[in-house]
Amino acid sequence: MAMAIIDYLGIKRGQRILDYGCAKGYMVKALRWLGREAYGCDISDYALKSADHEITSFLSKELPKTHFHYTIAKDTFEHMQTKDIKRLLTKLDSKVLFVIVPLGDGKKYFIPAYELDKTHIHKQPLTWWNNLIKNAGWKIKSAVPIVPGIKDNWNYQAEGNAFIVAEK
């Protein structure tokens, strides 16, 4: 998946990437193996303490105060309160934002299995996500339902996920 993200976004070696909502840092580790300067941020003490010792120095609980070429938020925003997403989007110092979220109609997800995660807060359509990101000062560059190599097991529902690329 890390290589699919690199290819899709055109991330070059040495470019700085933030994985926001990194959990145990698996994506950070993979991106670093592939020659990218990756860092992670997550609110979970448990996840950060459970990360591989090789990458713990690249993970933090607080949003790093540095510029990133890319910020990735994969399966993260649907777990956050709207006000917290807005705050993050305005604070991020990043050129490109890549958001991956499950989609719904406002009441239920288009992919029923997503209903099983009780930590999900948002079951919103693509227009809602695009407006949230745009209203925080970002320009939507693309928003597609499928990116090969990312969430391939969830592609059976054509509009079940959104892969949104935005720029400042």
Round to whole Å and give the CA distance between 87 and 61.
16
pTM: 0.97
Q: Thinking of the domain 2-167, which architecture would CATH place it in?
A: 3-Layer(aba) Sandwich (3.40)
- Assess contact for 43 and 88: CB atoms under 8 A: no
**Does the pLDDT at position 157 exceed 90?**
no
The 10s digit of each residue's pLDDT in 25-65 is 999 999 999 999 999 999 999 999 999 999 999 999 999 99
Whole-number pLDDT of residue 160: 96
70 confidence band (pLDDT: 50, 70, 90): very high
Question: Could you tell me what percent of the chain has a pLDDT over 70?
Answer: 100
**Residue type, position 114, single letter:** Y
Query: What are the beta bridge partners of residue 94?
Result: 68
Round to whole Å and give the CA distance between 25 and 68.
17
SS3 142: strand
Q: Return phi, psi of residue 64, to 5°.
A: -60, 145
**Does the pLDDT at position 158 exceed 90?**
no
Whole-number pLDDT of residue 32: 98
